[in-house]
Every structure is written in structure tokens, then in C-alpha cells.
Amino acid sequence: MGGTLLVDDKVDNAVELVKSLDAKGHAPTLAVWLYSEDVDRWRLLLGGPAFDALLPNQEVRAYREVAEAAVTVSLSTLGLSDVQLIRTDAPLARALGRLTATGPTGLVHAHFVDTTLNGIFIKEMVVLRMHRQVVA
């Protein structure tokens, strides 16, 4: 398992953030907690068509959308610095789309350890949402 534990409160806060983004019309099709062993840190990866339209040229606006969604819910353990927006056509997003799938607004708690996808090694991750439209 990852050197730093991912606490349930962070997972719960991420679910609330995803639901808030759904309500604001910025529904992520990808929401995954990913552990980065090199920096001993968990990051919440979010991606979806609404963010694809803004990345990379309007990155500040994309993160502002996430911050505005975060304000509408009580996030006790999740900060904007924990979030990383990625495009759905990024190699990692495409690889994850082949691993598991949810509906467009579905949420799961799928935990994976020491997984290799399309040559990408993932030490640990928790998938919250992975809608198959991510796969190009």
C-alpha cells in the first residue's frame, strides 16, 4: 500500500466535490485518487469534457470551476492543492478507462494496488468514477 494512507474523509470529500461539479454542469468522467510514490502524496485526478475544453490554454479557469464547486460543499480534508486536472485523452486517463467503468454520474470505490496499465505502473489508486467515454 501507499506510504501515506488515504483517509476515508478525503474520499468522502472527493465524492462531495464530484457531486457538486455534476450539479454545476462540469461532471467529471474521471475521478481517481492516485498515489505518487516519488513524492509520497495522494492526488485527486479529475477529467471530463468540460475540462478538456479548458485545458491546457485556460487552466486557471478550469481550476476556478473546481474551486467554485468546492465552496458549495463542506470539504474538511480536501484542498485545491490535492486536485490535478487531466485531459481525458491523456495516456493515463485512456489506460484507466480500460480498467473499470461507471455510468456518467456513477460513483464507486474501486481500490487497486501495484497495477500496470499500458506500461504505466500505478502503486495505488482509488477509482471513484470512470465513465467509458474517457476512452478515445
Q: What is the mean pLDDT of the chain?
A: 91
Residues 51 and 71: their CA atoms lie apart, in Å, by 18
Domain boundaries, the chain: 8-134
Amino acid at 58: Q
In whole angstroms, how large is the CA radius of gyration of the chain? 14
User: Could you count the other beta carbons within 10 Å of the beta carbon of residue 116?
Assistant: 9
Assess whether pLDDT exceeds 60 at residue 10: yes
User: Could you count the other beta carbons within 10 Å of the beta carbon of residue 28?
Assistant: 30
Assess whether pLDDT exceeds 60 at residue 2: no
For residue 85, list its beta bridge partners: 46
pLDDT for position 15? 97
Assess whether pLDDT exceeds 50 at residue 90: yes
C-alpha dihedral over 75, 37, 96, 65, to 10 degrees?
Answer: 30
Assess whether pLDDT exceeds 60 at residue 54: yes
Assess whether pLDDT exceeds 80 at residue 134: no
Assess whether pLDDT exceeds 50 at residue 121: yes
Q: How confident is the model at residue 32 (pLDDT cuts 50, 70, 90)?
A: very high
C-alpha cell at 75: 470539504
Assess whether pLDDT exceeds 90 at residue 132: no
41 sits in which H/E element: strand 41-47
Q: How confident is the model at residue 135 (pLDDT cuts 50, 70, 90)?
A: very low
C-alpha cell at 2: 501507499
